[in-house]
Structure 1
Amino acid sequence: MEVEVIQSAEDLEMLSPFKVDNNLWGTKTVPETYGYLGFVPGDGFYLKMVCKEEDPLRKYRDMNAPVYRDSAMEAFFLFESERERYIQPTYLNFEVNANGALLAAYGKERIYRTYFAKEEHQEFACSARIEADRWSAALRIPLSILEHIYGPLCLEAGSTFTCNFYKISEAAEIEHYASWSLIETDVPSFHLPEYFGTAVISGGRRGGGQG
C-alpha cells in the first residue's frame, strides 16, 4: 500500500482507495468496504473508511465500548522504533461503529491492552456519517500520540510501517469478517501483526476516487 502525503483530511478522497475484500473464517458475503489513508508531515495520519451497508447495526455509543459486536470497521497499525527494536512490538487498534463510538487501544498482544483516555480520543477526532446506502467513519492519528508510545519516529517519503483494515460484526444475525491483508488462520482473530501488510509513505501523487 502506498500512503500518499497530503495537505489535510480534505484531500483523502483524491487518493486511490484500498479495499477490505478478503472474506475470512467461512464468511460468504460482506458489505463492500474500502478506505483512504493519507499522511500529513508533522501532523499525523488521516483515515476514512466507507461501508456500503444500509441501516448498520449500531447499539453502542460510549468510548471504548465493544463496537465489534455491532457492525464495525477497524484499523490496526504497527510502527518500528529504536525503543522497541529488540522487543515484541506494540501495535494500535482503532474500531468504530456507525454511531462514531470508538474503541482505541495499544499493546503487544490481544490481551492486556491499554485503552486510550478521553483526552486522547478527542485528538483522534473520530466521526461517523450514515447515508441512505452506506456509512463512513473518519479519524486522525496524531504523531504526538504515536511518539508517546514509540518514541521519536522519522516518518517521511520512503518510510514503512505495517497495518491491516477490517470489516466485522460478531452479532449472530449478521456475523462476518473481512480484511485488507489476508489472514491465514483457522481461529478468528484480527490481533495478528504477522499478517499485517506493508505500507510505504510516498510523495504527493494523486489517484482516482471511488463512490
Structure 2
Amino acid sequence: MRELSFVKIPAGVDTADLKAVSEFLSQKCDTHKVDNTPWPEQFPYKPEVSFSGAHDGKAVYLRFDVNEQQILATNTEINQEVYQDSCVEFFIAVDDESYYNFEFNAVGTCLGGFHDAERDYRLHEDLLSGITTLASLGEGPIDKPVGGEWNLTVRIPSGVLEQHSGFAFGGNGARANFYKCGDNHKTPHFVSWNMIEFEKPNFHLPEFFGKVTFE
C-alpha cells in the first residue's frame, strides 16, 4: 500500500489565489506518479500523470499534471459524465464505512458522489459548486485528437464532505486513491496511484485505497 503526506500551506501563500497555490504545489510539494495499470492486457496505455497536494486545514488542494495522446473535455456541467473525457479523479475515505469520489475533466468540470453500505448518490450541484478549479486549458469544451500536456488545480473544502461535517484536514489521516481515465478516448485507459486487484476496471473499491496524512 502506498502512503503519502500533504503539508500545510504556509501563511505566505494566498490560498484564495489558485494560481499561487498551483505554483506552490508544483514547486514546493512532493510529486506522486499515477503509474499503475491494473488491467494491462485489455487497457495497456498509460499516459504520463502525476499529482501533488497540500491543505490549509479547511480544504485540500491538488494539482494534476498530465501528458496524453488525446485531450477530450466535452462535459461542461456539474455532475455530467466527466469520466468519458480526459479525467483525473480523487477518491477519499475519512472513516472505514464510506468514501467520496471527486472526478474532474481537463477543463475542471466536476462530478462528485458519496457511498456507503446504505447510500450511493451524487452530491448536490450547489454543494459541488463550492469546489474551485484552475485549468491550464481554460473552460472548454475540447475535442482534440492530438494530445499534449495539461494541468488542473482544484480546491476541495471540507464542507463538501457533507456526511462528515466535523472533519478537518489538518492533523488527520484518510485513505485515498488517485486515478486517470478516459472512457471515450480512442485509446481508453484506466490508471491508478495505488494498485487495484480486480478482474475488470472499477475505481470504486476502497479496499485498495492508499494512506494519506494531512500534516
TM-score over 0.5 (shorter chain): yes
SS in 2 for 1:28: coil
Aligned: 1:89 with 2:103 = no
Aligned match of 2:78:
63
After TM superposition, list the pairs within 5 Å mapping 1:75-86 onto structure 2.
75-80=90-95
CA displacement at 1:154 relative to structure 2: 5.2
Contact map agreement 2:72 2:185 (CA 8 A) in 1: no
Q: Distance in 2 between matches of 1:198 and 1:127?
A: 26
- Report the TM-score, using the length of structure 2 for normalisation: 0.80
CA displacement at 1:162 relative to structure 2: 0.4
Higher helix proportion (structure 1 or 2): 1
Aligned match of 2:49:
33
Aligned match of 2:111:
103
Aligned: 1:18 with 2:32 = yes
Deviations 1:116-137 (A, max 9, x none): 2232222101332229831122
Report the AA paired with residue 5 of structure 1: K
List alignment gaps of at least 5 residues for structure 2: 139-146
Q: Distance in 2 between matches of 1:133 and 1:142?
A: 30
SS in 1 for 2:79: coil
Which of the numbers 199, 212, 215 marks the counterpart of 1:186?
Answer: 199
Aligned match of 2:130:
123
User: How many pairs align?
Assistant: 191
Deviations 1:48-90 (A, max 9, x none): 111112550222112111111122111100102xxxxxxx622
List alignment gaps of at least 5 residues for structure 1: 81-87, 203-211
Contact map agreement 2:85 2:185 (CA 8 A) in 1: no
Q: Distance in 2 between matches of 1:152 and 1:101?
A: 27
- Report the TM-score, using the length of structure 1 for normalisation: 0.82
Aligned match of 1:84:
none
Aligned match of 1:167:
180
Report the AA paired with residue 12 of structure 1: L
Deviates further, 43-52 or 148-157:
148-157
Aligned match of 1:209:
none
Deviations 1:175-206 (A, max 9, x none): 1111000001112100000000001123xxxx
Give identity over the alignment, percent. 27
Contact map agreement 1:102 1:126 (CA 8 A) in 2: no
Aligned match of 1:156:
170
Contact map agreement 1:6 1:12 (CA 8 A) in 2: no
Contact map agreement 1:54 1:134 (CA 8 A) in 2: no
Report the AA paired with residue 182 of structure 2: S
Q: Distance in 2 between matches of 1:114 and 1:105?
A: 6
